[in-house]
Structure 1
Amino acid sequence: MSEMLRAPAEVEYAAELDWLESVDDGPKPFSWRLSPKMVRLFVLGSDRADGLDRPVRPKWFGDRGIVERAVVTLASDRGLLLVGDPGTGKSWLAELLAAAISRTSTLVVQGTAGTTEDHVRYSWNVSMVIAHGQSRASMIPSPIMTAMREGVIGRFEELTRTTVDVQDALISILSEKYVAVPELDEDNIVFARPGFSIIATANSRDRGVHDLSSALQRRFNFVRIPTVTNRRSEAEIVRFRTTDLLRRHRIALEVPPTLLDVLLQSFADLRAAAAAATGDDERLESALSTAEQIGVLEDAVLHGSFFGAGTGALSAETLAGSLVGALARRSPEDLAILNKYWHGVVEPRSRDRGGDWTGFLEGGRRAIAALS
């Protein structure tokens, strides 16, 4: 694990998953490693009512009904499609579910404009085909085919960014639960084993890029992941994910609650301004997601640790600089929006409240001036 830049969930939480499996006496669908109740508990964490000997900390912060519907879908013969805005935790939830159910979350197809049907089905080892001809040995299975053969969960990220041909390749897999290999004369069908399913994700902002056909939509259960609006939940998410990221960098630092409040309030203000805007030139290009808050906070902590005044502590000035640097993607549009926010909101708040808002005001001013 120390040699991995980012360990997958089944490795990161291997000890916890082993323990949950050892105390799990619930019914398990197919070849699942954990029962549905234990899958939910692994994702959302435990409480006293669960009666466990040790606590299980939450890893995804969201509505319990969303996780339950996702788990029930995966126990059926339909695929699961997680839909939501960027940064709402779709991929992280998919990884956690696959890790809990199958103990493998790395059978992933990343959807892009360059994804082909071979990425969903199979391809061939050309040198082996030349030397020995086409056979099962010379076939290179896709992550989805591997998941079929092993009876585990396969994942498909950003499904709506792929072309129609790629999407159509999933229809027969989800319907018939097999892949035909017409190049082979014998042993030319790969059947899915019990336990196989697909978790796909789709960015709601990509609507219209490559819309799903009605045939493919019928083979998925849609579960919508809402944007986190609860201040307390968002603070928990940011704190949890940032702690994990900093542990990876071997930086031991507690984020001051007052600075976390400044960050959360700033994003809330900017979201409100975006909602009230009448045109795209009045909105930041950023989705202002929770994931972007995590990125801003991580950047600020690392900057303070590497280039700070020697204490390694996070400062309001550094936080402001990281926020401006992360959100100012278009020039001059985004810079004008941020400058308006700093003058119209941050400056009066600095006069009224002082404290970290004063440093946040100065740091933001300097960052905006440097980019202008």
Structure 2
Amino acid sequence: MAESLRLPAEEKYKEELDYLKSIDNAPKPFQWNLSANMVRIFILGSTPADNMEREIPQKWFGDKSLVERSIVTLASDRGLLLIGDPGTGKSWLAELLAAAICDNSTQVVQGTAGTTEDQIKYSWNVSMVIAKGQSHDSLIPSPIMRSMATGTIGRFEELTRCTSDVQDALISILSEKYVSIPELKDGNVVFAQPGFNIIATANSRDRGVNDLSSALKRRFNFVRIPIVTNKKAESDIIHFRTKELLKRHNFDYNVSNSLLDILLQTFNDLRETSAAANSDDEKLESALSTAEQIGVLEDAILHSNFFERELTSKVLASSLIGSLVRRNPEDVSFMNKFWNNVVEKRKTEKEEAKDTEAAKEWEDFLNAGNSTMEVMK
């Protein structure tokens, strides 16, 4: 596991989870590994008021009430549905919750247009069925069925990407808490053990793709994860995630505050400009999420380490446009107008404020962006 490209949260933070478990004397719901408060501390980080011998760093950045509501929901009979725009940290929060509660975040069904009911319930080992017939040995349980049998958390990513008949397969699981296997004569019902629940995620931009039925909605508590607009919180998220992503390259993570301000301000301006657009053709296809900012910054840092001496506003501009411009000519046209209006305005503001250093960085950012777009036209 130590050589894996990406460890699951329960492996990555094993020492923290073991420590929290060793000091946790509070009552635990069902067979949870940690009490509700310790789950919250694992995700949101410890404070001096917690009186802990070691600090637990924050791993998910957002409104703490959303985390608390999620924890309470998972201790109830209702499933948890995390819904929000792409890149708002829904899957990351789901992984952290599952890791803290049951030490296993890998029981996941990835929802797509091709997801079948078998992937939610069970399937069969065809060769064993041909040789010996249908039996418990030839049964292949789904991740959801395994979580039912062990009383742990199952995860369902991108629920609204699945067709309605696949979604409906969850209704009986969430309400009746068992799965019938009519092909077997004995032991043909798998009952959910105490502690079982489901965390599902849904992309709010997929509304209308495969809407959830009223029956399924009633079996979930909805927790909406908003796009982070607070600069301080967004900066913390970017620092945290970028540092983790770059560990595999053994790079020193060093981004000046001025460059980070340019990135944050540009994304904020892009969101406002896109929100004011009258049609989809007049806005970027990108969701302009915090996750995309992290991707832009990671790309810029890698480029600067591989090919430049240092990270500059020129490299940042090239990475930003290269990452966000996906449609040609729509996105190129949008970005070109944005660059020569809003970015130009930011540079002028710094010049008028006599902030020579910042004005120079914005000017380099402006010129590099225009040069990058010239190649795309």
Letter in 1 for 2:138: S
1:77 is aligned to 77
- Greater shift, 143-152 or 343-352, is seen at 343-352
2:369 is aligned to 364
| TM-score, scaled relative to structure 1 | 0.98
Instruction: State which of 299, 319, 324 in structure 1 corresponds to 2:321.
Output: 324
Shift of 1:351: 4.1
Letter in 1 for 2:367: E
Shift of 1:257: 1.3
1:231 is aligned to 231
> How far, CA to CA, are the matches of 2:46 and 2:346 in structure 1?
39
User: Partner of 1:357: helix, strand, or coil?
Assistant: helix
1:344 is aligned to 341
> How far, CA to CA, are the matches of 1:271 and 1:194 in structure 2?
44
Please list, as runs of the form range in 1=range in 2, the aligned pairs for 1:280-295 lying within 5 A after superposition: 280-295=280-295
> How far, CA to CA, are the matches of 2:275 and 2:92 in structure 1?
26
Letter in 1 for 2:366: L
1:261 is aligned to 261
User: Partner of 1:56: helix, strand, or coil?
Assistant: coil
Letter in 2 for 1:330: R
1:279 is aligned to 279
- Greater shift, 239-248 or 275-284, is seen at 275-284
> How far, CA to CA, are the matches of 1:229 and 1:352 in structure 2?
22
> How far, CA to CA, are the matches of 1:116 and 1:305 in structure 2?
44
User: Partner of 1:98: helix, strand, or coil?
Assistant: helix
Letter in 1 for 2:370: R
Percent of aligned positions with the same letter in both sequences? 64
User: How many aligned residue pairs are there?
Assistant: 369
Please list, as runs of the form range in 1=range in 2, the aligned pairs for 1:1-372 lying within 5 A after superposition: 1-308=1-308, 311=309, 313-353=310-350, 354-372=359-377
Question: What does the per-residue CA deviation read over 1:48-68, in whole Å, with 9 as the maximum and x for residues that have no partner?
Answer: 111111111100001111001
Letter in 2 for 1:332: P
- Greater shift, 229-238 or 341-350, is seen at 341-350
> How far, CA to CA, are the matches of 2:71 and 2:188 in structure 1?
32
User: Partner of 2:147: helix, strand, or coil?
Assistant: helix
User: Partner of 1:355: helix, strand, or coil?
Assistant: helix
> How far, CA to CA, are the matches of 1:107 and 1:128 in structure 2?
24
Shift of 1:347: 2.3
> How far, CA to CA, are the matches of 2:215 and 2:342 in structure 1?
49
- Greater shift, 196-205 or 277-286, is seen at 277-286
Letter in 2 for 1:220: F
* Structure 2 residue runs without a partner (length 5+): 351-358
> How far, CA to CA, are the matches of 1:94 and 1:147 in structure 2?
15
> How far, CA to CA, are the matches of 1:31 and 1:355 in structure 2?
58
The Cα RMSD (Å) is 0.9
Question: What does the per-residue CA deviation read over 1:200-219, in whole Å, with 9 as the maximum and x for residues that have no partner?
Answer: 00011111111111111111
| TM-score, scaled relative to structure 2 | 0.96
> How far, CA to CA, are the matches of 2:342 and 2:224 in structure 1?
33
> How far, CA to CA, are the matches of 1:102 and 1:138 in structure 2?
27
> How far, CA to CA, are the matches of 1:351 and 1:175 in structure 2?
60
Shift of 1:348: 3.4
Letter in 1 for 2:298: E
Shift of 1:241: 0.4
Question: What does the per-residue CA deviation read over 1:81-112, in whole Å, with 9 as the maximum and x for residues that have no partner?
Answer: 00111111100000000000010100000000
* Structure 1 residue runs without a partner (length 5+): none
